[in-house]
């Protein structure tokens, strides 16, 4: 196979720590690629008024595959305050670069696997009725629609007159008709048939490939009758093409309860954007949390792989770094799968499994410590030592 070029975008904070760790593992496993650096994150907002510079978009356009660390996003007032003096008042508005990237390249299918590693002290444990406890094996992949829904970005405080007029044409808006315009904010939940179909189809394809007997659509069609209604309708349509796989329907609120009661009953979970964001964090909490949560953002042409955690600014200046690189390394495994290098991905996952099961090398999160410079004296490994242990297994 031709040598790939991967666009590496460490971003901010601990993104700069974990991304290089994943590259060390990729090298040892024998993945032969060139890497080009892509600028992204808060520094570029401050200096250029754009957290995702056009040159980075061009690199992704050209090479199609990105590995991304994490970025820092701050509130509107902080973003405006930190913008460099020369750019202030010139109409620059901060947009999250990762959301922008997903929308620009239509990376509409987000996959977030939440799979427990035996021996991880952070795994979910359940009390048994007769005493004792059990540790159900969690093997879930959350398929999150990544570009629309409540995160489409169509929102206002004090909506313009024609928009407000349009709202007033809906009889349910009567309840809000006396709210002063500047006291009213609205975020639009946009669902389209095509995007719903694509995410549902991706979920069913995954179920078929990995032998899952059901796909769970997690929405709220009893209340969000139009948007969740359309999403569910498309799920049912897609399900007809996968006769051996049952379609289960749950509501997001009930799902949050069920997943801590019987997480082993779920395999593939498909959601719209915000519900998928919530469900994937919740499932991730059962298998080790942010230090283990990886993801893929897939479009028709471009794909970007990233841990789901953010830049954890409170730890960015700790030296040596304390954060767990496993989420980033597992994201690199998803990239390998995507590139047809499944055997290499499996070797890395097996190596991680061996380190976790061995129990000798654990980052602070795995020991349930509060992060800080003192975690090493309490037995925690640093980020590089965790990577070294994984590489030693390889
Ligand atoms: P965060 O994910 O950065 O950190 C939350 C907490 O999780 C940390 O304080 C730490 O205790 C733990 N944690 C995260 N990653 C870890 C790792 N690899 N190993 C061990 N522990 C880890 O979320 P937070 O603090 O809400 O946001 C910080 C910044 O990150 C914000 O500016 C936010 O906007 C941004 N963010 C960026 C994301 C992205 O780049 N995709 C996603 C989420 C947040
Ligand atoms: Mg999230």
CA 45 to CA 138: how far, in whole Å? 39
CA nearest neighbour of 111 among 205, 226, 11: 205
CA 236 / ligand 1 centre spacing (Å): 35
Task: Classify domain 1-107+301-394 at the CATH superfamily level.
Answer: Isopropylmalate Dehydrogenase (3.40.718.10)
Instruction: Name residue, tokens 């179909």.
Output: 197
CA 307 / ligand 1 centre spacing (Å): 10
| pLDDT means over runs of 10, the chain (394 residues) | 90 98 98 97 97 98 98 93 94 92 96 97 94 95 97 93 96 96 96 98 97 97 97 98 97 95 95 97 96 97 97 94 98 98 98 98 98 97 98 98
CA 282 / ligand 2 centre spacing (Å): 10
Indicate which residue's Cα is closest to atom 43 of ligand 1: 310
**If residue 331 lies in a helix (H) or strand (E), which one and from where to where?**
helix 326-338
pLDDT of residue 1: 58
Is the C-beta atom of 291 inside 6 A of ligand 1?
A: yes
Identify which ligand lies nearest to the alpha carbon of 380.
1
The structural domains of the chain, with segments of one domain joined by +, span 1-107+301-394, 124-150+191-286, 154-187
Is the C-beta atom of 318 inside 6 A of ligand 1?
A: no
pLDDT of residue 2: 72
Instruction: Name residue, tokens 């406890």.
Output: 133
Mutate to test the pocket of ligand 1, among 10, 97, 312, 322 (most ligand atoms within 8 A of CB): 312
pLDDT of residue 3: 85
Map residue 225 onto helix, strand or coil: coil
CA 352 to CA 245: how far, in whole Å? 31
Is the C-beta atom of 126 inside 6 A of ligand 1?
A: no
Is the C-beta atom of 55 inside 6 A of ligand 1?
A: no
Mutate to test the pocket of ligand 1, among 290, 321, 380 (most ligand atoms within 8 A of CB): 290
Indicate which residue's Cα is closest to atom 37 of ligand 1: 310
CA 308 / ligand 1 centre spacing (Å): 8
CATH number corresponding to 124-150+191-286: 3.40.50
For residue 211, CA distances in Å to 142, 208, 219, 246 come to 16, 5, 23, 12
Q: Is the peptide bond before 364 cis (omega within 30 degrees of 0)?
A: no
């Amino acid at each position: 196979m031709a040598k790939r070029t991967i666009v590496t975008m460490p971003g901010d904070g601990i993104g700069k720590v974990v991304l290089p760790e994943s590259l060390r593992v990729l090298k040892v496993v024998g993945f032969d690629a060139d890497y080009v650096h892509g600028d992204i994150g808060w520094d570029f907002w401050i200096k250029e008024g754009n957290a995702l510079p056009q040159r980075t978009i061009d690199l992704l356009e050209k090479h199609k595959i990105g590995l991304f660390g994490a970025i820092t996003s701050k509130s509107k007032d902080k973003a405006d305050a930190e913008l460099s003096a020369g750019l202030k008042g010139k109409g620059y508005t901060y947009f999250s670069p990762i959301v922008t990237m997903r929308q620009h390249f239509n990376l509409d299918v987000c996959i977030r696997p939440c799979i427990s590693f035996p021996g991880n002290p952070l795994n979910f444990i359940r009390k048994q009725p007769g005493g004792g406890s059990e540790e159900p094996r969690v093997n879930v992949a959350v398929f999150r629609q990544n570009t629309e829904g409540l995160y489409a970005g169509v929102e206002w405080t004090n909506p313009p007159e024609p928009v407000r007029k349009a709202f007033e044409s809906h009889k349910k808006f009567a309840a809000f008709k006396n709210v002063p315009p500047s006291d009213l904010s609205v975020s639009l939940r946009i669902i389209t048939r095509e995007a719903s179909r694509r995410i549902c189809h991706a979920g069913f394809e995954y179920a078929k490939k990995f032998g899952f007997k059901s796909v769970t659509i997690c929405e709220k069609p009893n209340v969000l009758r139009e948007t969740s209604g359309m999403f569910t309708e498309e799920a049912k349509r897609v399900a007809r093409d996968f006769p051996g796989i049952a379609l289960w329907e749950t509501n997001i609120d009930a799902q949050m309860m069920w997943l801590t009661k019987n997480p082993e009953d779920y395999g593939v979970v498909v959601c719209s954007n915000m519900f998928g964001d919530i469900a994937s964090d919740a499932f991730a909490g059962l298998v080790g949390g942010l230090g283990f949560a990886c993801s893929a953002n897939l479009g028709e042409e471009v794909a970007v792989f990233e841990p789901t955690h953010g830049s954890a600014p409170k730890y960015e200046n700790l030296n040596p770094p304390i954060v767990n690189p496993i989420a980033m390394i597992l994201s690199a495994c998803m990239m390998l799968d995507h590139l047809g290098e499944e055997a290499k991905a499996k070797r890395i996952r097996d190596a991680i499994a061996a380190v976790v099961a061995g129990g000798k090398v654990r980052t602070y999160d795995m020991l349930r410590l509060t992060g800080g410079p003192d975690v090493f004296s309490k037995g925690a490994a640093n980020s590089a030592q965790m990577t070294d242990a994984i590489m030693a297994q390889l």
